[in-house]
């Protein structure tokens, strides 16, 4: 990973949009700093397309899409995207699977969650689980004492043994039924909402993140950026980001925003 200052201004000048993770990328130690939110707003007001790509739940994403200075949000690691239709004054929702499939999966998710809670002492359902539609999130350090790396990997292994896709973030292990991730839904959203083939346009977009569940995005975008705390997961990343900020979390996000805004000015 190269330092962010090695990312050429010429490449930044061609950027038309930014995808970003939220937890420990926009936030720092579980909080959203004012300067990071201000940077998010400044990027959006500059004319860039701004889209959070997060593991957070549908209930939170409803709020992000309505209230934040963003164009859309991809949530639950790619299960859906939401955007607010300002003209119609309505939240629009696009789920990957239909209502019947989500309902059938809901029972299966509860069974797997119960098995994991019994098998791995100290873990817990994430506090935001009640807001989730398509996945389960097992907390290993957000509201519980931090589990060991082997315990976190054991949670992910139990999900995979149950036929689920499992991804580890900086705070949760997320599991779902289906072959999708942050990248697959980001590509679908860009095609459906903006008629943009991201495969052809990927050099005109950036992603910034921090953890293993961001790896599909890191590997896809040539100018992908990690905030400094991505180094904590370096050994787990087959495809790390090309560049890394000096700052952690929201400080690193603001650092990237300042570079982008300076070039646009």
Domain boundaries, the chain: 2-96+180-264, 99-176
Average pLDDT over residues 163-190: 95
Q: Give pLDDT, residue 39.
A: 98
Helix (H) or strand (E) holding 84: strand 80-85
Which residues have C-beta within 8 Å of that of residue 223, sequence separation ≥ 6?
Answer: 7, 11, 12, 15, 203, 206, 242, 243
DSSP 8-state symbol, 146 = P
**48 neighbors 68 (Cβ within 8 angstroms):** no
Fold of 99-176: Hypothetical Protein Ta0175; Chain: A, domain 2 (3.90.1070)
Confidence of residue 265 (pLDDT cuts 50, 70, 90): confident
Confidence of residue 190 (pLDDT cuts 50, 70, 90): very high
**Residue 264 pLDDT > 90, yes or no?**
no
Residue 96 phi, psi dihedral angles, 5° rounding? -70, -40
Confidence of residue 95 (pLDDT cuts 50, 70, 90): very high
Fold of 2-96+180-264: Rossmann fold (3.40.50)
Other CB atoms within 10 Å distance of the CB of residue 110: 12
Q: Give pLDDT, residue 232.
A: 92
Strands 90-95, 124-125: pairing kind: unpaired
């Amino acid at each position: 990973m190269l330092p962010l200052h090695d990312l050429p201004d010429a490449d930044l000048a061609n950027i038309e949009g930014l995808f970003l993770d939220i937890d420990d990328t926009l936030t720092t130690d579980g909080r959203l700093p004012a300067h990071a939110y201000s940077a998010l707003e400044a990027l959006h007001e500059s004319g860039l397309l701004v889209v959070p790509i997060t593991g957070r739940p549908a209930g939170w994403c409803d709020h992000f899409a309505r209230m934040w200075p963003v164009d859309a949000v991809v949530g639950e690691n790619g299960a859906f995207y939401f955007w607010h239709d300002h003209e119609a004054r309505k939240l629009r929702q696009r789920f990957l699977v239909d209502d019947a499939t989500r309902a059938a999966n809901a029972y299966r998710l509860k069974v797997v969650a119960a098995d994991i809670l019994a098998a791995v002492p100290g873990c817990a359902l994430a506090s935001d689980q009640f807001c989730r539609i398509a996945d389960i999130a097992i907390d290993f350090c957000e509201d519980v004492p931090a589990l060991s790396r082997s315990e976190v990997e054991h949670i992910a292994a139990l999900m995979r043994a149950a036929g689920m896709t499992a991804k580890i973030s900086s705070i949760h292990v997320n599991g779902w039924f289906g072959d999708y991730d942050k990248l697959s839904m980001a590509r679908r959203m860009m095609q459906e909402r903006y008629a943009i083939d991201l495969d052809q346009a990927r050099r005109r977009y950036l992603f910034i993140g921090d953890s293993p569940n961001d790896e599909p995005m890191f590997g896809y975008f040539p100018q992908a950026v990690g905030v400094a705390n991505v180094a904590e997961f370096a050994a787990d990343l087959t495809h790390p980001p090309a560049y890394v900020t000096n700052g952690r979390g929201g400080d690193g996000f603001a650092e990237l925003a300042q570079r982008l805004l300076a070039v646009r000015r």
